[in-house]
Structure 1
Amino acid sequence: MFSSSILLQILACAIYGNWWPMLSALMYVLVPMPCMFFGGGSTQFLSSSDGGGWIDAAKFLTGASAVGSIAIPAILRHANLIETGAMLIVFTSFFIFVCTVLCFHRVSLDEEW
């Protein structure tokens, strides 16, 4: 699923001959970083209500990078740097990426694996 998400990112750029949509792919790199640095590689802290300074910072950074993944193509479209079709392909790519993260989160919560 992650590979198809990246493929859609590349297609959004290649079909329209404009590589600005790849800026949102940078956010795909930033989304898991708070989990790796502050959560110990686990996504369990995202759904817990307890926290501290570092856990709250990790939740904020995860949310900010997720919102940035949607905001970057919308801003680029508003500035007429990308076409509407490229923006929609990037949104589809983000939806697939979110489904991948949710599947990973669900599997990591299961103790049977």
Structure 2
Amino acid sequence: MALSRSMRTCLHSGRLALLAILVSGGIVLQILACALYNNWWPMLTVLMYLILPMPLIFFLGSDTSSIMSNGGDGWVNFTKFLTGASIVGSIAIPSILKHAGVIGWGALTMELSSFVVFGVAILWFIQMSSEDEYSSVF
């Protein structure tokens, strides 16, 4: 049974709304990790979240399939390296802060859960943008 065009548009709008809620939840967890424990050092992780999409934007353009492939030229490999370094930094910064005694277990847990929420949102966005029917609606 095929859905009508308006029904497909409504479903895709709902998926975009859920994606926005996921990103908002990640931001809220990030801010709560700082505000609840009255320690703003965990905000250093925001730098990694800002740096994370930059290699993808600058070096790959709109072709997200090449980041998932095994092959590629030098720029694609450099982009993969910078993206991996940003991901490791997103996990390492709160872990190092906890190891140094700057933040507590609660802030570390909220920081890492914020990272997971952002990761799910990014993966879901990549999956949504690669679907043929999603791009044909708009």
Shorter-chain TM-score range: over 0.9
The structure carrying a bigger helix percent of its residues is 2
Residue 47 of structure 1, aligned match among 53, 68, 72: 68
User: Which structure has the bigger radius of gyration?
Assistant: 2
**Taking every aligned residue pair, what percent have the same amino acid on both sides?**
51
What RMSD, in angstroms, separates the aligned Cα atoms of the two structures? 0.9
Partners of 2:56 and 2:105 lie apart in 1 by: 32
Gaps spanning 5+ residues in structure 2: where? Answer: 1-21
Residue 28 of structure 1, aligned match among 40, 45, 49: 49
Structure 1's consecutive aligned runs of 4 or more residues displaced over 4 angstroms after TM superposition are: none
Q: Which residue of 2 aligns with 1:68?
A: 89
1:42 deviates by 3.6
Q: Which residue of 1 aligns with 2:98?
A: 77
Counterpart contact for 1:42–1:108, Cα < 8 Å: no
**TM-score (norm. length: structure 1):** 0.96
Give the counterpart letter for 2:39 in structure 1. Answer: N
1:41 deviates by 3.2
Gaps spanning 5+ residues in structure 1: where? Answer: none
Count of residue pairs the alignment pairs up:
113
Q: Which residue of 2 aligns with 1:93?
A: 114
Query: Secondary structure at the residue paired with 2:36?
Result: helix
Partners of 1:44 and 1:3 lie apart in 2 by: 26
1:82 deviates by 0.6
Query: Secondary structure at the residue paired with 1:104?
Result: helix
Partners of 1:65 and 1:58 lie apart in 2 by: 11
CA deviations over 1:41-94 (Å, ceiling 9, x no partner): 342222112211110000000111011100000000000011111000000000
Q: Which residue of 1 aligns with 2:123?
A: 102
